[in-house]
Amino acid sequence: MPAVTWRRLSLAGFGCYREQVTVTFQEGLNVLVAPNEKGKSTLVAGLEAVLFGLPNTVNPEAFGSARFANREEPDRFEGEVEFLVDGRVYAIKRQFNTNRVTIRSRGVHGWEEVWRGNHNPGAHKKIPAYVEHLTAFLGITSRELFEATFCLGQPLPEGRALSSEVQKLLSGSGGHYQDALKILAGDLRVLTRYCGDRGVGNNGRKDARLEELQAEIAALRAQQQAAGSTIEELAAVRSRLQELATEIKNVRAQLKKQQDLRAAWDRWRALQLRYKSALREQQQAAAVQERARELEQKIRRHQEQAARLYPEWAAAPAGSAGQLDRLVELEQEIARLQGEAANWEAQLRDLNEEQEALTARLQGELAAVANHPDILRDLEDLQSLQKEQEQLAGQVQELAARAEEVAAELADLPDFSVLGNSPAAVLEGLQVAARQLLEDWGRFQEQQNRCEELEAELAGDLSCFAGLPPEKEALVASYEATRIALEKEEKEAREACRRLEEQKAAYRRREEEYRREFGDLDALGEEALHAATDKPGLLAELQAREAARQAALATGSRRRQVLTLALAGAGLLAGLAAGLATGSRLFAAAVALVLGGLGCGAGAYLGRPGRDILDLTAEITALQERLAQLDANLGPWAGAAAAELGELRRRLLERERARAELAALAASLPDTAEEEAARQALEAAVKALRDFQAATAAISTRFNDVTAAYRRYLAAREEMERLAAEMEAFTIKAVGAPPPAALTVPLAGLGAPWPGLARLARLAGQAPATAGELLAWLKELDRSAWEDFLARARRWEELTARDRQVKEKREQLLQPDKEGRTALVRLAAKITGLERHIAPFTAATEAGEIAPLLEEAARIKERLAELGGQQQAAGSRVKDLRGQIQELELEAEGLREDLAALLAPVDGEAGKAMERRQGYEQLAREWLGWQEQLAGLLGEGSLEDLAAAYLDAANRTMAVLQEWQALVREHPGLPEPGGETKGEELEEQYRALQAGIIEMEGRLQGLEEEERQLLRRQSQLEGGQIANMAIVAETLAAREKELERLELEAGALALAYRELAAAARDYSQEYRRELALAASRYFNLFTGRQERRVDITEDFQVEVREGGVAVALAQLSRGAQDQLYLSLRLAIGDLLSADLTLPFIFDDCFVNCDAERRERIRESLAALALERQLLLLSHDPYFAPWGTPVQIESQGTC
């Protein structure tokens, strides 16, 4: 990619720039030196904001409008950057508040608009057009990537690893290879959870599609096997549910008993705690009552003892103790002050004696130096002036001789003044310029040769691409993609037709299976299913009704016989009785016969069939009619048994399901229009592919890879056009003429560095007239010639400076003052004055003889001054002490009169009175403490209240005990209250009971859960239907086919992941090695430590090794860390120079370097500036001479 050069940056309302500011840059190394907080970093941020956008954020710390919008709310908030790419000037202008962007280019007719639109950097969906333009101009579209590669800001980062953005850029693709690995791993995780077993990451926790398919296949197979065991399982479930109901009832009864016992235990334990608490309160009340009586007796005894031993203090007025303390204090202070006053009077006498002795010495032996403290300085000045007088005379003679030597040597050198005041520096610049000119013109010659090669290549086998019409060139440009797309379309069209045929074939197969399996049932309609379902029940019901009717008929027959016999017998007996009563046998026989006949008739009537038999007969008739209807619906199966009817019902159900499936398949069959559309699509795809092959046949037969050949043609054509433009831009810029006439341009009209190099040629005795002649002469100059030029120029500068210094010094020495006296005359006058001033001493007197006298005199004066202050302080202190003693004695006398009654028992001795007071106070403190304890026990009550509290506590204890005993009587199993049962035993019993309850509850929960599971299973078994084995088999086959396909896909994804990871490791190792070598070269150059080596680890961590041993980055100085980071940035720039050649921006990033390493960095940047533009921003004026100053035009201040 061609190099990018920033030319101009304009900002308005951005950061500290309220008004418009315009910054102009040049090629090479640009330097901007300004104080801190003057907007240097703001210019860099403005450049980034114009290119990549300024997000609309509210966080003032983030890169956004809240941080960089000017607070004074200016009228404009915009920026524009003008830059040069491939010899063409472009400009990007952005309105920051609306994200409105305009891209322009400058051609022969002025500025032309390339694109206009909105570009919001915070939007999730980027604007493709702007991103494409930015990629074409700069090669990158990310601000973070720009900062991480080409913008070295302040402070330099401290991290050990290269950023992920830099890794992506250097990897040669738009994204990181890890992204591709993540996509492959993600696709594999969608298929299976066991990725780790295939060498891709770790195994997952949740089943994926493969595991779900395997589970579904296992369930289908189990469904096939489980269809026959459903009825047996349902019977077992019902039996177990009956057992569980009884067991749960028993367990709940046992749990209720144990829970009642636990509640009694809880109450027993609560009463035990209440009893212990009440008993403890009763005991505490008794102890408090006893302690109060004891305190009352002790207080009374102490008060009586104090009145007996210290009667004066018992009757002493208030404040007496304080007066006695003051009296003792006064007596002690008076004694102390008297001793101090005696010491000060003795010290004052010693000071007076010392003052008299010192004054006598100053007036005697030290009188010569006592009033002349600066005599040593005057003596030193005199000696110095005498030496200066001697040296000055010698210098005048020496300067005259040196001036003659310099003039003679200058006459033998060329006149380098034509190159300026500093010809050596100019020569160094001319040497660099000459080297650059030769390199540029050498590159120009290489470009000319490359153009000739490209012309030959384009005229050869690539010439077939030159005359293509636009539509055919478009086909060739996308040959491979178009061919693949057309072949894919044809394949998909054929596949679509094949799928339609497979659908029709599948329907025909399924229809044939249906006829083969259910053809014998064609005579049966839909009512046959209901008939086969209802007939077994009707037959059973008919049999039950027939049995009930027969039983009823048998019962009626037996009843009729019994009634007939009974009534007939009764009639006979009645007739016999009547006959016997009348005495007539005939009459008796007649009556008996009549009554017997009547009895038979009544028995027959009463024993006739009842209503229930008639109802059963009617129901049987109805059932027989219903069965006749069902037999008509069943047709050939009218006489089938119950088992055969069950099998018929199953087949009819299967027929209904198969019929529904067949209808669904028929509904999914393509119609005629769809088949016609698929056929036409196939014909169109075949025709499009043939047309494409015919249109590109001439080229495809010539090249195996048409796309690669066309790209080679485009690359060659674009390279030749680019080289021609670069050559013309170079010669126009260098000499102002096109390439053919470039070397014949006269030197007289050219700018720097041509005039300077021409003057250098004339100094060497040459006279070039054109640029070509000068370049030819420069090619002949080798390194030794340049070094000879530089050596002679430096010698000329040295001699010229020395001659100027000699002349200036001689003029200074011989220059007279306003009075006409020279320096020698003035020195003689000063020497005479000093000799008179130091008399009686002379210039020959040694300073060692006078110094001890001066020191002794100064010490005595200093001591006398100290003595005066000490005498005054001592006298003042003695006077103050005597006054204090007198005041204290008056106060002590008054206190003795006030305390006469207290001092009388001890004969007026205040100390003994103090001892008696302390004895009295000791007794008082003791009884006062007991009074406080008694008050704390009584509170606001009395001893009688304490007795009442004790009685109340005893009553509460008894009440709790009685309630406790009642509970034990109610539950005999509980321990007796107040017994000797240990707490551990009680807790053990309670824990055993609690464990039994928990165990019983767990058992009950387990039984209830088992009951719920069985009920749910019963519902499933009763509500479920027997699966269609044909559907299950078809589904199972489809799932197994899908499982096989997904297994192949998972294997392919795992293989692709492993191969890509291995390729990435191989590429990363080579790429990291090249980056480390480049960074090591720069780091060694900057630090001067050739034994140091920079390594990049597999995870892109930066390491420094010295002598093969790793050195922690924290062990490097801050300057070395900065230089390491700079080395990495420059190394990255070298590696990317073939793809990205953006200017480097250095923002105050050399502050931690010493002078030597700064010079090495300057040399590196000077070499780098020949290849790309550099911008150096700093607050340090040291960097100003490093390059071309940046021009800033601002309408306001920052």
pLDDT tens digit string along 969-989? 887 777 887 655 556 777 787
Highest mean pLDDT among 92-96, 644-648, 748-752 belongs to: 92-96
Give the confidence band of 44 by pLDDT, cuts at 50, 70, 90.
very high
CATH topology of domain 1-150+1141-1198: Rossmann fold (3.40.50)
Q: What is the 3-state secondary structure (H, E, C) of 1000-1031?
A: HHHHHHHHHHHHHHHHHHHHHHHHCCCCCHHH
Of 154-163, 791-800, 1063-1072, the range with the lowest mean pLDDT is: 154-163
Give the confidence band of 53 by pLDDT, cuts at 50, 70, 90.
very high
Of 281-295, 437-451, 472-486, the range with the lowest mean pLDDT is: 472-486
Q: Is 636 left (phi over 0), alpha (psi -120 to 50) or beta?
A: alpha
Q: What mean pLDDT value characterizes the chain?
A: 79
**Residues 6+ away with beta carbon under 8 Å from 886:** none
Q: What is the mean pLDDT of residues 863-888?
A: 85
> Long-range pairs for 955-959 at CB < 8 Å and ≥24 separation?
956/278, 956/281, 956/282, 957/275, 957/278, 957/279, 957/281, 957/282
| Cα distance between the two ends of the chain | 36
Q: Identify the three-state secondary structure at position 542.
A: helix
Q: What is the mean pLDDT of residues 890-894?
A: 83
Scanning the structure block, which residue is given the tokens 């790209």?
711
Residue 229 pLDDT > 70, yes or no? no
Cα–Cα separations (whole angstroms), residue 683 to 490, 493, 494, 497, 696: 9, 9, 9, 11, 20
Residue 175 pLDDT > 50, yes or no? no
Q: DSSP H helical segments within 171-319, as ranges?
A: 177-191, 209-226, 230-309, 311-314
Selected residue with higher pLDDT from 577 and 990: 990
Q: What is the mean pLDDT of residues 5-18?
A: 94
Residue 680 pLDDT > 70, yes or no? yes
Tell me the C-alpha distance between 1091 and 101, whole Å.
Answer: 51
pLDDT at site 88? 92
Spell out a b/e string for 307-319, using b for 16 or more CB atoms within 10 Å of the CB, else e: eeebebbeebeee
Tell me the C-alpha distance between 1045 and 1009, whole Å.
Answer: 42
Phi and psi of 586, rounded to 5°?
-65, -45
Cα–Cα separations (whole angstroms), residue 374 to 72, 369, 378: 66, 9, 7
- Contact predicate 185/168, CB 8 Å: no
pLDDT at site 689? 80
Query: Nearest Cα to 183, choosing from 1051, 1055, 1050, 1057?
Result: 1057
Q: What's the token pair of residue 11?
A: 């900002």
Q: What is the pLDDT of residues 803-815, one digit of tens each?
A: 888 777 877 777 7
Residue 1127 pLDDT > 70, yes or no? yes
Beta bridge partners of 11: 21, 79
Tell me the C-alpha distance between 1154 and 1120, whole Å.
Answer: 10
Q: Is the dihedral of CA 748, 753, 759, 764 positive or negative?
A: negative
Tell me the C-alpha distance between 569 and 595, whole Å.
Answer: 9
pLDDT at site 172? 43
Tell me the C-alpha distance between 1190 and 3, whole Å.
Answer: 20
Q: What is the mean pLDDT of residues 413-420?
A: 80
Selected residue with higher pLDDT from 794 and 822: 794
Of 256-270, 631-645, 737-751, the range with the lowest mean pLDDT is: 631-645
Give the confidence band of 1026 by pLDDT, cuts at 50, 70, 90.
very low
Tell me the C-alpha distance between 1119 and 1158, whole Å.
Answer: 10
The DSSP string of 620-681 is HHHHHHHHHHHHHHHGGGTT--HHHHHHHHHHHHHHHHHHHHHHHHHHHS--HHHHHHHHHH
pLDDT at site 1045? 82
Q: What is the pLDDT of residues 428-447, one digit of tens each?
A: 888 888 888 888 888 888 88
DSSP assignment, residue 840? T
Q: What's the token pair of residue 460?
A: 């050869």
- Contact predicate 535/634, CB 8 Å: yes
Give the confidence band of 1025 by pLDDT, cuts at 50, 70, 90.
very low
- Write the burial class of residue 760 (CB in 10 Å: 0-12 exposed, 13-18 middle, 19+ buried): buried
Where do the structural domains in the chain lie, given as residue ranges? 1-150+1141-1198, 231-309+940-1021, 320-364+851-926, 413-459+708-814, 473-519+671-702, 523-668
The sheet carrying 1109-1111 orders its strands as: 1092-1096, 1102-1106, 1109-1111
Of 565-579, 692-706, 737-751, the range with the lowest mean pLDDT is: 565-579
Q: What is the mean pLDDT of residues 404-416?
A: 81
Give the confidence band of 749 by pLDDT, cuts at 50, 70, 90.
confident
Q: Tell me, what amino acid is at 285?
A: A
What global pTM score does this model have?
0.35
| CATH number belonging to the domain at 231-309+940-1021, selected among 3.30.70, 1.10.3470, 1.10.287, 1.20.1070 | 1.10.287
Residue 522 pLDDT > 90, yes or no? no
- Write the burial class of residue 932 (CB in 10 Å: 0-12 exposed, 13-18 middle, 19+ buried): exposed
pLDDT at site 1022? 63
Q: What is the pLDDT of residues 476-488, one digit of tens each?
A: 777 777 888 888 8
**Residues 6+ away with beta carbon under 8 Å from 495:** none
Give the confidence band of 935 by pLDDT, cuts at 50, 70, 90.
confident
What torsion do the CA atoms of 774, 776, 777, 778 make, to the nearest 10 degrees?
Answer: 90
Q: What's the token pair of residue 490?
A: 């044809």
Residue 564 pLDDT > 70, yes or no? no
Of 183-192, 211-220, 253-262, 517-526, the range with the lowest mean pLDDT is: 517-526
Give the confidence band of 426 by pLDDT, cuts at 50, 70, 90.
confident
Query: Nearest Cα to 620, choosing from 699, 709, 526, 547?
Result: 547
Give the CA diameter of the chain.
218
Query: Nearest Cα to 171, choosing from 908, 1110, 1063, 927?
Result: 1063
Tell me the C-alpha distance between 969 and 973, whole Å.
Answer: 9
> Long-range pairs for 657-662 at CB < 8 Å and ≥24 separation?
657/1028, 657/1031, 658/513, 658/514, 658/517, 658/518, 658/1030, 659/514, 661/510, 661/1031, 662/507, 662/510, 662/511, 662/514
Q: What is the mean pLDDT of residues 409-417?
A: 80
Percent of the chain residues past pLDDT 90, beyond the cut: 8
> Long-range pairs for 737-743 at CB < 8 Å and ≥24 separation?
739/444, 739/448, 742/771, 743/770, 743/771, 743/772, 743/775
pLDDT at site 485? 80
Residue 966 pLDDT > 70, yes or no? yes
Q: What is the mean pLDDT of residues 941-965?
A: 82
pLDDT at site 1137? 58
